[in-house]
């Protein structure tokens, strides 16, 4: 218990860092994932190819490698940003590939007749997707999107190795100060639980509110 009370501000900063990373990267992942999913079902071939390449590259690359690529690669092209922003970029882009695939599987659960009916009424591709298909797909993707964002929260720990303040990284100073490793980690784990269970709770509410009534 001492380790927590003595270092409350350290833990607090770490937890705040993790929450910030999670929230910003989630938003980026959701927006990019949505755009890429639209690309992958678009009637335009080049958009489909772009979406497929995006997903294939990002989903099949180790996240750590992606962090290296962003943190060390982008500055070579003159793009210098705070480390935290780099971390959000890496996490968000990586997770967007998973979100994209979750959304696409949701789109595939909507019967084709729904889209055909919309098109037969003269609705454009964007209207068909936005007003008819996605609102129905949204209901079935709430649970898997929740899981993906929980994975994102935990993946944010990698940012700690790249000088970004976040929860896991707090173990280093604590260890140096001579606190028990076990208890340092127990409290770190509790911090992550706080974040991930909050995400679960939000998605449970969303599911109750919007999920398909069976």
- Residues of this chain that interact with other proteins (CB under 8 A) are 43, 111, 113-114, 116-125, 127, 131-132, 135-136, 139
The three-point CA angle 50-54-60 to 5° equals: 145
Q: Count CB atoms within 10 A of the CB of residue 130.
A: 13
Cβ atoms 162, 87 nearer than 8 A: yes
Q: Which of 129, 166, 168 is nearest to 14 (CA)?
A: 166
Shortest distance in whole angstroms from residue 50 CB to other proteins: 18
Distance CA 165, CA 167 (A): 7
Contact call for residues 133 and 107 (beta carbons, < 8 A)? yes
Closer of 115 and 191 to other proteins (Cβ): 115
Shortest reach from residue 202's CB to other proteins, in Å: 22
**3-class secondary structure, 123:** coil
Provide the 8-state DSSP code for 167. S
Task: For other proteins, give the closer residue by CB, 68 or 125.
Answer: 125
Q: How near is the Cβ of 47 to other proteins at its closest, in Å?
A: 13
Instruction: Specify whether the CB–CB gap between 17 and 165 falls below 8 A.
Output: yes
Q: How far is the CB of 58 from other proteins (least distance, A)?
A: 29
* Shortest Å, Cβ 48 to other proteins: 13
Give the three-state DSSP class for 209.
Answer: helix
Structure tokens at 168: 């896991």
């Amino acid at each position: 218990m001492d380790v927590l009370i003595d270092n409350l501000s350290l833990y607090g900063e770490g937890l705040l860092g993790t929450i910030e990373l999670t929230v910003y990267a989630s938003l980026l992942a959701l927006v990019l994932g949505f755009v890429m999913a639209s690309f992958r079902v678009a009637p335009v071939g080049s958009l489909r190819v772009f979406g497929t390449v995006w997903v294939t590259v990002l989903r099949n690359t180790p996240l750590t490698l992606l962090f290296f690529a962003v943190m060390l690669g982008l500055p070579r092209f003159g793009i210098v940003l705070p480390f935290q922003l780099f971390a959000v970029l890496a996490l968000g882009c990586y997770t967007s590939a998973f979100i994209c695939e979750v959304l696409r599987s949701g789109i595939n659960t909507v019967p084709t007749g729904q889209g055909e009916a919309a098109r037969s009424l003269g609705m454009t591709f964007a209207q068909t997707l936005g007003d008819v298909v996605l609102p129905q797909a949204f209901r079935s993707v709430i649970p898997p999107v929740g899981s993906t964002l929980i994975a994102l929260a935990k993946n944010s720990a990698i940012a700690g190795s790249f000088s970004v303040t976040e929860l896991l990284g707090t173990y280093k100073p604590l260890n140096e100060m001579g606190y028990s490793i076990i208890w340092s980690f127990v409290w770190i784990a509790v911090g992550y639980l706080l974040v991930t269970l909050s995400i679960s709770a939000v998605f449970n509410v969303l599911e109750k509110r919007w999920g398909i009534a069976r």
